Amino acid sequence: MSQVMFYARPEPVNKELHRHWKLDTSRFDLNFATKTNSVPLAGAEFHHAAREYPIVFLQAGDNTILAAALLGLRSDENLFIDGTGRWNATYVPAFVRRYPFILAENDTAPEQWTVCLDADFPGFNQTTGEPLFTEQGEPTPLMNNTIRFLQDCQNSYRATETFISRLRSLDLLVTLTAQVEAAGGQKFAIQNLMAVDEKRLLALDDAQVLSLFRSGELGWIQSHLLSLGNINRLVQLLTQRQS
């Protein structure tokens, strides 16, 4: 799952190149995410996301596992976006909300990150909306708030990587296999997803459970397990869309 999905032409924010650029949020919709059936999720989001989405774990290549909000049962289909580009859920994952901005890793300095934007986003122009920079070339409150949000997201994703490493070291993740049936008898197999195994969780010793509790990660696990019931909600949404 690419961290730059949605971004057609990402480029570093530059106070000279983008000095007169403005962001017009009235031209903003979420159609860019229409063909995405899952998005990465930070552990800090689990509590809110668990109320609406199944939270699963996905193999992302190179022995990497990501936490993700499952948005659809078919590839290239997001069941939470309607025909007008609105997201029909109370909580929108931060991975989506950060668009059209993103932090990109610096190739020459891996520990440094560069703020980028999608130059093809139609809301960018030089006449209407909030400016990115002042006339003196300083970041406006819009840019400063954006940078803080992106940094918070990055810190949350790093904490989630640590969380997933702990799940793996405790051997708690197992393959999730299920078959669901939508209207008309159409069946969908849920494959290549992972979830925490409750039996293995209950088998942990007291010290391991206490460590998970004190780190806050036990709450993340509980939210994840509760969220799996939302797979039925995806079936309902698919049935509504088909009818």
Largest CA distance in the chain: 63
Q: 217-236 pLDDT, tens per residue?
A: 999 999 999 999 999 899 88
- pLDDT exceeds cutoff 60 at 2: no
Query: Which backbone phi and psi does 65 adopt, to 5 degrees?
Result: -120, 135
- pLDDT exceeds cutoff 60 at 158: yes
Q: 38-64 pLDDT, tens per residue?
A: 999 999 999 999 999 999 999 987 789
- pLDDT exceeds cutoff 70 at 30: yes
- pLDDT exceeds cutoff 70 at 170: yes
Cβ contact 81:34 at 8 Å = yes
Which band of pLDDT confidence, cut at 50, 70 and 90, is reported for residue 90? Answer: very high
Taking residues 114-124, report their average pLDDT: 94
pLDDT at position 107: 65
Which band of pLDDT confidence, cut at 50, 70 and 90, is reported for residue 1? Answer: very low
In the chain the first and final C-alpha atoms are separated, in Å, by 30
Q: pTM for the full model?
A: 0.90
- pLDDT exceeds cutoff 80 at 27: no
The residue length of the chain stands at 243
Which band of pLDDT confidence, cut at 50, 70 and 90, is reported for residue 106? Answer: confident
ω into 141 cis (within 30 of 0): no
Q: What percent of the chain has pLDDT over 90?
A: 74
Residues 6+ apart with CB under 8 A from 1: 38, 39, 40, 58, 60, 66, 68
- The full set of domain ranges for the chain reads 10-242
pLDDT at position 70: 96
Cβ contact 124:117 at 8 Å = yes
